Structures are given as C-alpha cells and as structure tokens.
Amino acid sequence: MSETNIVQKKPYVMEMEPGEYWWCQCGLSAEQPFCDGSHKGTDFAPVKAGIAEKKTVAWCGCKRTGKPPFCDGTHSSL
C-alpha cells in the first residue's frame, strides 16, 4: 500500500454541524480535510464520519492517525 501525503503536522480543528462528512485519507484533496475525489487511482479511499450534534472536531491533518478520521496525536512523532 502507498504512503499517505502528509498535509500538515497538526489537526484541522473545526466547529461542525450535524451531518455526514468524508475525510480525505490520501492527503491529495484540495478541500482538506475533506475528500474531493483526488484519491482516484491511489490505494486510498475517503473515510465516512457522521456527526450527530454540533461540536468541535479535530480532523487528522497528517493522515497517519490510528483513529481515522480524527487526530490521535500521531503528528507529534513525525
């Protein structure tokens, strides 16, 4: 499997409304942290995340988290 593209070594902390979101796993999307279809032709696919209520979310920015799509602090060791 290919390695993901590290977009940034910190999370995307965002206030999110309830809904369904597709997190970019490959790191190639121009719509970070969300998928824009740039993964086509790679070994990666977006990760679906459902947000049930309005809240602040830390989306992984380094694309190496062990708990996709959310930040688990892995970026601090890159």
Assigned domain for 57 exists: yes
Among residues 38, 30, 33, the alpha carbon closest in space to that of 62 is found at: 33
Assigned domain for 16 exists: yes
pLDDT at 3: 87
* CB 53, CB 61: distance < 8 Å: no
Assigned domain for 5 exists: no
Q: What share of the chain is helix, strand, coil (3-state, %, to 5)?
A: 5, 30, 65
> What pLDDT, in 10s, does the model give residues 7-34?
999 999 999 999 999 999 999 999 999 9
Expressed as residue numbers, the domain containing 72 is 12-77
pLDDT at 27: 96
Assigned domain for 4 exists: no
Total tally of structural domains belonging to the chain: 1
Assigned domain for 59 exists: yes
> What pLDDT, in 10s, does the model give residues 26-58?
999 999 999 999 999 999 999 999 999 999 999
Assigned domain for 7 exists: no
